[in-house]
Amino acid sequence: MLAALLFALQQPQLQEQITVERVIVDARVTDYLGNPITGLKPADFRVKIDGKPAKVEAADWIADTEAQREIDEDTSGGQAPSPVHPPPPPGRLLVFFYQTDFARNTARVTGQMKLLQMNEDWLDWLEPRDRVAVLSFDSHLKFRLDFTSNKHDIAYAMEQALYIDDPPWPQRVPMPSMASYLKPDVLLKIASPERALIEIGNALMNVPGPKSLILFGWGLGRFSREGVTMAPNYGIARQALEMARISVFSIDFTEADFHSLAAGLGKVADDTGGFYASTHNFPHLAAKRLQHTLAGHYELEVRKPATKVRGTHVIEVEVARRGAYVLARLTYVDR
């Protein structure tokens, strides 16, 4: 009996190991004007994954601009919120992506020209540490400017995006640099804006932190008698953007009160945690809303509930506060 007991004690003990998967979700919570709502706690968020309630274990507010950090200090009695660990990279990473119409449709070209006349609205709110890259698409994807904080260079690249030309390859910049991941011969073969989004997502996938893609465009999708449908490779584009933590903000410059392909611009924004805005009637409001919305974001750490779904998961994020609008991606993919 004693020998049996000693033998049992000497045997390695089997332990049950439970793996808890956590998902990081970037969420912006604003009022109807785009002003960020700060001070929210994990209990203020309601998150579902694949229809099942998920526990929000942390909700870290990250002020992305110096102006917002000053506001946070004033509202907290001079005490700035504790920094998130690890700290986010200095400054915001923004991609200005122009969908220039190769067919030179009047409503589209006129809208883009009108947009360029208010370049200051899109540049004045940039802070010295922010970095902007500029790309355009007409017959293929064109890389016009790598990440820089030089507003003169950014404005020039924005203006040149109106033209159907072959711009010189941008000068390489310190990391993060899109030139490290883009190749001229590959860009020549990219024949659709959806495929361009895939390339941009892939290029930024290894750059840490959230990014914002400002899509100045006139439409996505295909129009038929059944309505507007997204291109077959749109799902891949959405997945690439999600994996790179890119939110798309669709700024529709079409000179029209309504047009069918606006639905595609709205969909890519909704899917990735951005918003859609038209510049036809109130262009300055669109720029102001973008400025306010990009002032900061929440980084949610969510515990994934038990689910039989594999691959792509559906995420729903809500805030239990009246008048709060939540911008967050609608899916995530198992790594």
DSSP 209-234: S-EEEEEEES--SEEETTEEE--TTH
**Both 115 and 214 in a single domain?**
yes
Number of domains in the chain: 2
Tens of pLDDT, residues 87-121: 544 689 999 999 999 999 999 999 999 999 999 99
What is the model's pLDDT at position 333?
84
- For residue 110, give every residue at least 6 positions away whose Cβ sits within 8 Å of its Cβ, in sequence order, or none: 255
- CA dist 89 and 209 (Å) reads 7
Q: How far apart, in Å, are the Cα atoms of 215 and each of 44, 130, 194, 266?
A: 31, 18, 12, 11
| Residue where a domain terminates, one of 261, 278, 293 | 293
**Both 169 and 308 in a single domain?**
no
Instruction: Please state at what angle helix 262-272 crosses helix 234-243, rounded to 10 degrees.
Output: 30
Q: Give me the residue label for tokens 């590959």.
A: 186
Q: What angle do CA 70, 75, 79 make, to 5 degrees?
A: 75
Is the residue at 6 inside a domain? no
Average pLDDT, the chain: 88
Is the residue at 202 inside a domain? yes
Instruction: Name the band, by pLDDT with cuts 50, 70 and 90, for residue 332.
Output: confident
What is the model's pLDDT at position 27?
96
**Both 224 and 114 in a single domain?**
yes
What is the model's pLDDT at position 87?
54
The SS3 call for residue 151 is helix
- CA dist 116 and 207 (Å) reads 29
What is the model's pLDDT at position 19?
47
Is the residue at 1 inside a domain? no
**When comparing pLDDT for 88 and 198, which is higher?**
198
Q: Which of 64, 65, 85, 63 is nearest to 76 (CA)?
A: 63
Q: Give me the residue label for tokens 């995006």.
A: 161
For CA atoms 200, 202, 203, 209, the dihedral sign is positive
The full length of the chain comes to 335
pLDDT(123) > 60: yes
CA 236 to chain centre: 15
**Both 170 and 249 in a single domain?**
yes
Exposed / middle / buried, residue 254 (Cβ in 10 Å: 0-12, 13-18, 19+) = buried
What is the model's pLDDT at position 224?
77
What is the model's pLDDT at position 26?
95
**Both 141 and 188 in a single domain?**
yes
For 259, the domain range is: 93-293
Exposed / middle / buried, residue 175 (Cβ in 10 Å: 0-12, 13-18, 19+) = exposed
- This prediction's pTM: 0.88
**Both 185 and 324 in a single domain?**
no
22-36 average pLDDT score: 93
Is the residue at 8 inside a domain? no
What is the model's pLDDT at position 77?
58
Tens of pLDDT, residues 253-288: 999 988 999 999 999 999 999 999 999 998 899 999
**Both 315 and 282 in a single domain?**
no
- Dihedrals φ, ψ of 229, to 5°? -120, 145
141-160 average pLDDT score: 97
185-210 average pLDDT score: 95
Q: Give me the residue label for tokens 């360029």.
A: 116
Q: Are 333 and 242 in contact (CB under 8 A)?
A: yes
